[in-house]
Amino acid sequence: MAKLYVNPNVKKGHINPELQGHFSEHLGRCIYEGLYVGENSDIPNVNGMRTDVVEALKEIKVPVLRWPGGCFADEYHWKDGIGPKETRKKMINTHWGGVVEDNSFGTHEFMELCRQIGCKTYVNGNVGSGTVQEMSEWVEYMTFEGVSPMADQRKANGHEEPWTVDYFGVGNENWGCGGNMRPQYYGDLYRRFQTYVRNYNGSKPIYKVACGPNADDYNWTDKVLETIFDHSAGTGLLSGLSLHYYTVPTGKWEVKGSATDFDEKLWYKTMKITLKMEELIKRHTAIMDQYDPEKKIGLIIDEWGIWTDVEPGTNPGFLYQQNTMRDALVAGINLNLFNKNCDRVKMANIAQMVNVLQSVILTDGDKMIKTPTWHAFNLFKHHQDGELVESSIETKEVGLEAENMIPDLSESVSLGKDGKLHVTITNASLVDNTDIEMILAETDVKSVKASVLTGKMNAHNTFDAPETVGSTEFTAVKAEGNKVIFTAPACSVLYLEVEI
């Protein structure tokens, strides 16, 4: 019997809702078709945004959305995407699939989408191929309420009031598609560009995110911070540093592996690769601690998720992949890790929201399905805005190959504003249903409710069978004094709501 120790009296940090954030890029069918179908579409929509998709996103309480990229962001010129749609520039999306980008989804549409979802806004600026003036004017256009050339243009384009930009990314992957820069050079550019990401209207300052490392590029983190971090200015120059890390099942970018057709060995290898996130958070945090021991600067994991080969027969530049119980476990493991490290990790954005990489939603014409990843997010949403409490779980090593053994279980526990404990557990073993005894320090349990998401390792939803995978009520849970006893099925994500 694995013991899960929980001490509700020891608080470890605030779980920002943004740890369950999302990312949408002008890539494949994410924006166009997936989120935005245009006002004249036969698919039910409000101001062009698909109603079915928006409703499904509201259900999982999407807290924040990043846009317009990704690599697309450093090729995006925002003025192409404002004004009458008929006159907006048409161009080739050179980075993703070579298709026509008609710019019908631009700044106004993004803000409208976030309004409908009810989420915060995270806009990513262009450092790689843009100018300081362009970035500065974009911020002015979006957020200035007074009289100015950009604010006047926004008003002329039909939006009198300024919008709120909660987060602003100063470039994306500037070590790669965002300009192939070296860290010191990017650091200097960051200092200059961020100066003009102004806080107008005296409202809450925009949270400025610098381009951080690719996975385990610790040198990038160190050199960028050395260049940017200004002890006298504190966090004035910098609010957060990004980190991008993808789970590539085979570990090889050339042949990443199928999204649905994989064996048990590859399952465990995928989990092992996913668990590297823990090491990345710890080691980047250790470098950040040298500059910022008070942890004022957030680690912003604004691209994460599983990246497989595309579905056979689809455009390789569209990154369209199916989504199985393996994705649900990858999501659960990562979301538990983000919670456990919420003292440093302040936002995380899964790549990507709809029809691209590890999506929560897939669409086909007017059809829509919720993926196993959507269902995992639906279980984790109860942690949003809670306080992480001390917990630890006993695990055993599982796997089929010596080099790919993993701990079977992961967990995180929060105390919600509702006074209840919210517990999420993943069981990545493919064979063992594991008995768990949760023991609460100095606290008795009044009642417990639970849900489980489980299935075969490659079970997934299709447009013909959209309900194959989904969470169900889990009744085999017993509360006794200060204990809760239950069995976590193999290949599952569990959620427990514990009244204390």
Which residues are registered as beta bridge partners of 42?
A: none
DSSP 52: H
Neighbours of 430 (CB within 10 A): 18
Phi and psi for 258 in degrees, rounded to 5? -70, 150
408, 396 contact by CB (below 8 A): yes
Tokens 């080691």 -> residue: 283
Q: Which is nearer to ligand AHR, 33 or 303 (CB)?
A: 303
Q: How far is the CB of 368 from ligand AHR (least distance, A)?
A: 21
**Ranges within 260-319 binding ligand AHR (CB under 6 A):** 303
Q: How far is the CB of 91 from ligand AHR (least distance, A)?
A: 17
The residue type of 4 is: L
Candidates 68-76, 142-150, 154-162, 216-224 — which segment interacts with ligand AHR by CB under 6 A?
68-76
What separation in angstroms does the CA of 205 have from each of 13, 179, 198, 348, 398?
Answer: 22, 27, 8, 20, 46
What CA–CA distance (Å, rounded) separates 26 from 309? Answer: 19
Using Cβ positions, the residue closest to ligand AHR within the complex turns out to be 70
By CB neighbour count within 10 A (0-12 exposed, 13-18 middle, 19+ buried), where does 486 fall? buried
18 catalytic residue (yes or no): no
> Site for ligand AHR (CB under 6 A): which residue of 33, 75, 140, 173?
173
Give how many residues touch ligand AHR by CB under 6 A.
Answer: 10
Q: Which is nearer to ligand AHR, 71 or 297 (CB)?
A: 71
Q: How far is the CB of 125 from ligand AHR (least distance, A)?
A: 14
Q: Which of 75, 303, 387, 411 is the catalytic position?
A: 303
Beta strand ranges found along 174-221 (DSSP E): 207-210
Q: Which is nearer to ligand AHR, 75 or 408 (CB)?
A: 75
What CA–CA distance (Å, rounded) separates 238 from 37? Answer: 36
Tokens 């590859």 -> residue: 266
394 catalytic residue (yes or no): no
Candidates 67-75, 99-107, 131-139, 401-409 — which segment interacts with ligand AHR by CB under 6 A?
67-75
**Ranges within 24-43 binding ligand AHR (CB under 6 A):** 25
What CA–CA distance (Å, rounded) separates 409 from 487? Answer: 12
Q: How far is the CB of 208 from ligand AHR (least distance, A)?
A: 18
Q: Which is nearer to ligand AHR, 93 or 378 (CB)?
A: 93
Q: Which is nearer to ligand AHR, 172 or 410 (CB)?
A: 172
Q: How far is the CB of 153 from ligand AHR (least distance, A)?
A: 28
Largest CA distance in the chain: 68
Q: Which of 75, 112, 173, 387 is the catalytic position?
A: 173
Candidates 69-77, 102-110, 132-140, 385-393 — which segment interacts with ligand AHR by CB under 6 A?
69-77
171, 217 contact by CB (below 8 A): no
**Ranges within 317-376 binding ligand AHR (CB under 6 A):** 351-352, 357
235, 296 contact by CB (below 8 A): yes
Binding string, 104-143, against ligand AHR, x = CB under 6 A?
A: ----------------------------------------
Instruction: Give the end-to-end CA distance of the chain in Å, rounded to a whole number.
Output: 23
> Site for ligand AHR (CB under 6 A): which residue of 172, 321, 427, 458?
172
Q: How far is the CB of 123 from ligand AHR (least distance, A)?
A: 15
Q: Which is nearer to ligand AHR, 334 or 410 (CB)?
A: 334
Q: Which is nearer to ligand AHR, 139 or 351 (CB)?
A: 351
Q: Which is nearer to ligand AHR, 351 or 479 (CB)?
A: 351
What CA–CA distance (Å, rounded) separates 318 from 308? Answer: 12
Q: How far is the CB of 95 from ligand AHR (least distance, A)?
A: 7
What CA–CA distance (Å, rounded) separates 417 from 98? Answer: 48
Contacts (Cβ under 8 Å, ≥6 apart) of 196: 132, 133, 135, 136, 139
357 half-sphere exposure, CB direction, 13 A CA radius: 24
Candidates 66-74, 152-160, 276-284, 488-496 — which segment interacts with ligand AHR by CB under 6 A?
66-74
Q: How far is the CB of 246 from ligand AHR (least distance, A)?
A: 7
What CA–CA distance (Å, rounded) separates 474 from 472? Answer: 6
Q: How far is the CB of 244 from ligand AHR (least distance, A)?
A: 6
Which residues are registered as beta bridge partners of 246?
A: 305
The answer to whether 70 contacts ligand AHR (rule: CB under 6 A) is yes
What CA–CA distance (Å, rounded) separates 134 from 126? Answer: 8
59 half-sphere exposure, CB direction, 13 A CA radius: 15
Q: Which is nearer to ligand AHR, 357 or 448 (CB)?
A: 357
- Active-site positions read 173, 303
Binding stretches for ligand AHR (CB under 6 A) = 25, 69-71, 172-173, 303, 351-352, 357
